[in-house]
């Protein structure tokens, strides 16, 4: 099992592959699957803005596409944000995390920034399930 810092480092590295020519806001995510393997993603934007996808959604899609159905932890690095307060996952990504029972989320921003850790219950209370 990787440590929180390892997962955050992977998210930071993933952010370097972000395709964000429109927002200039690079995001990377790393997720730890219940298989003990880590998967990464970056945000991928599109000239038709709503066709863009978030880093967390892409990392989770990579894990699920490899057969994972339970994700233990997610790290997200918004390397162009000044502080973690501007780096929290969007609502849609929180709902996607809920689908795969994410336990903990680690959030960080630009170089040298603190890492803030939360449970999914803290970030998405009273969430929708079927
Ligand atoms: N973005 C993410 O990748 N994850 C989030 O949770 C919030 C926002 C991306 C989408 C877009 O490419 C850029 O950040 C600015 O919104």
pLDDT in tens, 58-101: 999 999 999 999 999 999 999 999 999 999 999 999 999 999 99
Domains of the chain: 4-123 (3.40.140.10)
Nearest ligand 1 atom, CA 27: 3
Tokens of 9: 């480092």
Which residues are the active-site residues?
A: 56
Distance from Cα 42 to the centre of ligand 1, integer Å: 9
What's residue 2's pLDDT?
Answer: 58
Sole residue written with tokens 């967390």? 56
Nearest-angstrom CA–CA distance, 29 and 27: 7
Plot region of 24 (φ>0 → left; ψ -120 to 50 → alpha; else → beta): left
pLDDT in tens, 110-120: 999 999 999 99
> What stretches of 3-62 adopt beta strand conformation (E)?
27-33, 38-42
Tokens of 2: 């990787």
């Amino acid at each position: 099992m990787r440590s929180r810092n390892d997962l955050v480092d992977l998210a930071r590295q993933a952010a370097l592959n972000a395709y964000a020519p429109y927002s200039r806001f690079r995001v990377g995510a790393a997720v730890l699957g219940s298989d003990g393997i880590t998967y990464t993603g970056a945000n991928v934007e599109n000239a038709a803005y709503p066709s863009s996808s978030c880093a967390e959604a892409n990392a989770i899609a990579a894990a699920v596409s490899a057969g994972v159905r339970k994700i233990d932890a997610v790290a997200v690095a918004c390397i162009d944000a000044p502080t973690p307060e501007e780096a929290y996952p969007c609502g849609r990504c929180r709902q996607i995390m809920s689908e795969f029972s994410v336990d903990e989320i680690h959030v960080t921003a630009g170089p040298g920034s603190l890492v803030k850790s939360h449970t999914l219950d803290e970030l998405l209370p009273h969430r929708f399930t079927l």
